[in-house]
Chain A
Amino acid sequence: MGAPESAAGKGRDLDLRRWRDLSGVLALLLVMGWILGRMGFFDPGRLAGGLANFGRFAAELFPPDLSVLPAVLGALAETVEMAFAGTFLGFILSFPLGVLGTRTLFPRPVVLGVRLLVAMIRTVPSLLWAVIMVIVVGLGPLAGTLALAVYTVGYLAKLYAEILEGVDPEVLEAVRGLGAHRRHIVRYVLWPESANTILSQLLFMLEYNIRSSTVLGLVGAGGVGFYMQVYISTLAYGRLATVLLAVLAIVLLMDGLSAWARRRYLLQS
């Protein structure tokens, strides 16, 4: 007697939940529509004009002007160097900061201080870091490399602290019980237990930095972004197309390489 009754009750609950979910989705759609409307998204004249402009711009991109390819490739090589060097430098700083930000290892004030610092670094976008570094060390790839390094610290140090905190506390306790020093715990517990995830995040950061390093030249921080800016401002869209295609090629190549590295080295254990 109780069973069908409760089944009916359950059915009603389910209906109620479905309605609640549906009205949630509807509310979300309304809010999005309102925001887009305020920006002029539903202004047909403006959008149609924009479409025409885009068509004209796209037409001018083709055919790509390949005469600038040698210069672009040189700058692209510089971009890739910046990404690698910046990611590496960032990693060198991120790991110790991540360790210092690990609650299971360091006292609260240290952890909070480090996390605050890292959060502050993360607040500044990479392009702004590039502007700052151009002011600090002058134009060129060094500024770009430093900007990427700092930006990397903002992300990796936070991720690493979280990864290291995820290590089984019983293992930490056991090794601490052996009389191990903190540096031993980092070397023999935290690193081996989380190396896979740490390196995987590092690869992700490298991919990200390759993409973001291409625009750092916009503010004079070295690499292929300089050419982008020049070609945009001189309306040389054919040449810009060459730059964009070269960037696309390098991004695809790097994604492929890191996918291969993951398969080859990280997934096996």
Chain B
Amino acid sequence: MTATRPNPAEGPASTPAVDVRDLWLAYRPGQWVLKGVSLRVPKGQVWVVMGPSGAGKTTLLKALAGLLPFQRGAVEVMGFQLRGEPPRTFRRVVGYIPQQLGLVRGLTALENVLLGALGRHGGLGPTVGLFPRQEVARARDYLAMLGLGDKAGTRVFNLSGGERQRVAIARTLMQDPQLILADEFVSDLDLPRAARVLETVRALVQERGLTLVMNLHEIQLVQELADHVVVLKDGRPVYQGPADSLGWADFRVLVEAPDGGTGVGGR
């Protein structure tokens, strides 16, 4: 029973949720966006990736979500060795919320949340718009839990920014993931609202023992929410440590330190 995929139920101590070793990634040959990133996220923790724009935060998260091929290094996420297109079983344990949320604007909130169940239902039903009754009930429950119970039938383009964020969260929860990767998904909200959304997510993550890795700009929120912080600059981690030991001043020093380039031009 020592296949490439260890049993996730082995316990939090045995395998980390994310294990990245010397990851190098380029969109075009020779133009490295990630330059040897290594990190190890234990299960059940909340990690925040910070850094100036162009530092490679989004690229890192996409690589962890199995959405980008990389050239060098090893990436193991929830026990899956990533190489090329990951299997559908990977999609069931790893949820990914992109920066612009990736909601289908012409569908209702409920329909968008139900999309999270597609990985479990390969049959013809969902293709013709029919989902199992218990899945619909669950989707409604998630919406209600996030305060959107009365918006289930509203199309996404009629929802506010904050409501859309919560639909995206509900959709990810619907996947039943053990790891959630979230890419600055509250960046469009004002600070108090972003804080509320993130607190909801944090509570859910703790309650279910999930692991959360997210990119975040707002250092004010980082210290309240994160266990651990990684600061990325120009494709390299320049700091890794507990969230409470990193202050705003430290962050500025780290990011503005005159080593390497400014990170402009990357992603």
The chain A residues found within 8 Å of chain B, CB to CB, are 168, 170-171, 173-181, 183-184, 187-189, 192-193, 195, 269
Contact = CB atoms under 8 A, between A and B. Distances in A.
B102 A188 contact: no
Nearest to B172: A178
B127 A175 contact: no
A184 B157 contact: no
B122 A174 contact: no
A187 to B, nearest CB: 6
Contacts of A189: 104
A164 to B, nearest CB: 14
Given A180-B115, A188-B107, A189-B104, 16 more contacts: A170-B98, A170-B100, A173-B67, A173-B102, A175-B115, A177-B95, A179-B91, A179-B92, A179-B119, A179-B175, A184-B115, A184-B126, A187-B128, A192-B105, A195-B106, A269-B106
A229 B106 CA distance: 48
Given A178-B115, A178-B119, A184-B118, A173 B98 contact: yes
A195 B107 CA distance: 11
Nearest to B85: A176
Given A180-B118, A184-B118, A175 B102 contact: yes
A193 B116 contact: no
B111 interface: yes
Interface in B205-259: none
Contacts of A193: 104-106
B52 to A, nearest CB: 22
A175 B104 CA distance: 9
Given A174-B96, A174-B102, A269-B106, A179 B126 contact: no
Nearest to B121: A184
A256 B157 CA distance: 30
A174 B105 CA distance: 13
Contacts of B99: 170
A168 B96 CA distance: 17
A174 B172 CA distance: 10
B104 A188 contact: yes
Given A179-B119, A184-B126, A174 B92 contact: no
B129 interface: yes
B41 interface: no
Contact of B67 (A177, A192, A195): A177
Contacts of A175: 102, 104, 115, 118
Contacts of B37: none
Contact of A179 (B97, B98, B118): B118
A177 B91 contact: yes
A190 to B, nearest CB: 10
A180 B112 CA distance: 12
B35 interface: no
B111 A188 contact: yes
Nearest to A183: B127
Contact of A178 (B100, B122, B171): B171
Contact of A187 (B66, B100, B129, B171): B129
B82 interface: no
B152 interface: no
Contacts of B155: 269
B101 interface: yes
Contact of A192 (B88, B100, B106, B127): B106
Nearest to B111: A188
B69 to A, nearest CB: 13
Contact of B91 (A178, A183, A269): A178
